[in-house]
């Protein structure tokens, strides 16, 4: 067997293992949320049955249709310091000292009684800028703020252990935010995770910032359900899924956060970066770039095997030659199919202009 075929085989095997684990996790998480703790065992059995069926009938799984916005996608993701793909374990919701909410600044920011502002990192609320009407009264933005205000009205919240990145460029604290949920007897047996509530209601999209992606995979599950139901911002065309081939439209969306889908035409690796190319001409077509430094080797193997697959990439649109998204975490790439044939090899570009971090990323 040729070396290229062996490499592709390893990549496909790696991707399939990642896809199966992510699908199992999604089934368990959604089952627990929708049916309650009593049904968790049934959801787990269903997830294991799904895994067993896909391994028993790999050809059928590979041939399954996967329309845009269809069945839940598999997240290409490997925890850098774990052999398991249990994303829930990465998301630390252990909360600290309770604080009173003084004001809801916007759909993702709270002013607390100690004078600090906290940003609900991981849940990107809509803004008028998303639709090119900055400064205007944007209904989706107003609805997100109202929903957050209703959640926290008269309540205390607590900040979970912060990620390595503790604040944004505006000085707002970056944290997962939880608050006690009183039961019918006046107790506080449960907690509400604000980011999850905002995403599940369709008032925010799942995202991450460098060093703050640990909870993104869990939020992606909730986002998928909200998007499928068309609730909240997902009912507005400004938040539609974008096609990778519509490069002019993508360039008009520069500096905005988008979800872009398309079939990967080829993979190029240049100077410590993997370029996931969605067209024949990297000078003008949409590309996603993955830095290889400090990235998990297993995940990079899966990325190298994406040629021929339909995938979704999320992030801020830049202009680097054509439209471009910088990928800094595995959760930014989702595989939408389990099949995909070999794509024609694209020549490595002789040289690429230096890729810069998007200036508008918060």
Structural domain including 301 reads 237-335
Do 112 and 204 lie in one domain? The reply is: yes
Residues 133 and 180 both lie in one domain:
yes
Q: How many structural domains compose the chain?
A: 3
Taking only the tens of pLDDT, the chain with its 362 residues reads 444 444 444 444 444 444 444 444 444 343 333 334 334 344 443 433 333 333 333 333 333 323 223 333 343 432 222 222 233 567 888 888 899 999 999 999 999 999 999 999 999 999 999 888 777 789 999 999 999 999 999 899 999 865 667 888 888 899 999 998 654 444 444 789 999 999 999 999 999 988 889 999 999 999 999 999 999 999 999 999 999 999 999 999 999 999 999 999 999 999 999 999 999 988 899 999 999 988 899 999 999 999 999 999 999 999 999 999 999 999 999 999 864 433 333 333 434 343 443 433 34
Beta strands in the chain (DSSP E): 74-75, 99-106, 109-112, 117-120, 123-124, 156-159, 173-175, 177-181, 190-193, 205-206, 242-243, 257-263, 266-270, 273-277, 287-291, 310-316, 318-320, 322-327, 333-335
Contact 158, 235 (CB under 8 A): no
Of how many residues is the chain composed? 362
Residue at 301 is within a domain: yes
Residues 7 and 124 in one domain: no
* pLDDT at residue number 59: 33
Supply φ then ψ for residue 284, to 5 degrees. -135, -20
Structural domain includes residue 90:
no
Q: Let me know whether 105 and 183 are in one domain.
A: yes
- Which distant-in-sequence residues (6+ apart) come within 8 Å of 361 by Cβ? 209, 316
Q: Is residue 92 part of a domain?
A: no
Q: How far apart are the first and last CA of the chain?
A: 47
User: Same domain, yes or no, for 207 and 111?
Assistant: yes
Are 155 and 193 within one domain?
Answer: yes
Domain with 278 in it: what CATH number? 2.40.50.140
225 falls within a domain: yes
Domain for residue 291, yes or no? Answer: yes
Does some domain include residue 138?
Answer: yes
The CATH number linked to 108 is: 2.40.50.90
Residue that has been written with the tokens 């190298």 in this structure: 304
DSSP state of 168: -
């Amino acid at each position: 067997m040729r070396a290229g075929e062996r490499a592709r085989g390893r990549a496909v095997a790696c991707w399939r293992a990642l896809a199966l684990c992510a699908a199992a996790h999604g089934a368990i998480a959604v089952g627990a949320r929708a049916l309650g703790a009593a049904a968790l065992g049934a959801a787990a059995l269903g997830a294991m049955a799904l895994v067993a069926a896909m391994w028993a009938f790999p050809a059928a799984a590979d041939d399954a249709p996967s329309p845009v916005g269809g069945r839940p996608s598999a997240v290409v993701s490997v925890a850098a310091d774990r052999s398991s793909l249990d994303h829930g374990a990465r998301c630390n919701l252990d909360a600290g000292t309770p604080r009173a909410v003084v004001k809801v600044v916007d759909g993702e920011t709270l002013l607390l009684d100690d004078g600090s502002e906290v940003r609900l990192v991981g849940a990107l609320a809509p803004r008028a800028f998303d639709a090119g009407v900055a400064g205007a009264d944007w209904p989706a933005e107003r609805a997100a703020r109202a929903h957050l205000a209703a959640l926290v009205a008269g309540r205390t919240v607590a900040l979970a252990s912060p990620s390595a990145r503790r604040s944004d460029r505006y000085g707002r604290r970056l944290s997962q935010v939880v608050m006690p949920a009183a039961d019918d007897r006046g107790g506080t047996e449960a907690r509400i995770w604000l980011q999850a509530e905002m995403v599940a209601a369709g008032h925010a999209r799942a995202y991450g910032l460098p060093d703050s992606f640990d909870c993104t995979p869990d939020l992606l599950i909730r986002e998928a359900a909200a998007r499928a139901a068309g609730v909240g911002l997902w009912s507005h065309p400004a938040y539609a899924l974008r096609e990778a081939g519509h490069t002019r439209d993508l360039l008009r969306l520069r500096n905005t956060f988008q979800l872009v889908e398309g079939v990967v035409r080829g993979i190029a690796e240049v100077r410590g970066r993997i370029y996931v190319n969605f067209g024949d001409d990297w000078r003008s077509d949409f590309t996603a770039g993955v830095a290889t430094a400090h990235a998990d080797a297993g995940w990079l193997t899966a990325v190298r095997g994406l040629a021929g697959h339909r995938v979704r990439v999320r992030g801020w649109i830049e202009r680097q030659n054509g439209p471009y998204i910088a990928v800094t975490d595995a959760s930014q790439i989702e595989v939408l199919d389990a099949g995909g044939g070999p794509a024609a090899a694209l020549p490595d570009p002789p040289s690429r202009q230096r890729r810069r971090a998007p200036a508008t990323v918060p």
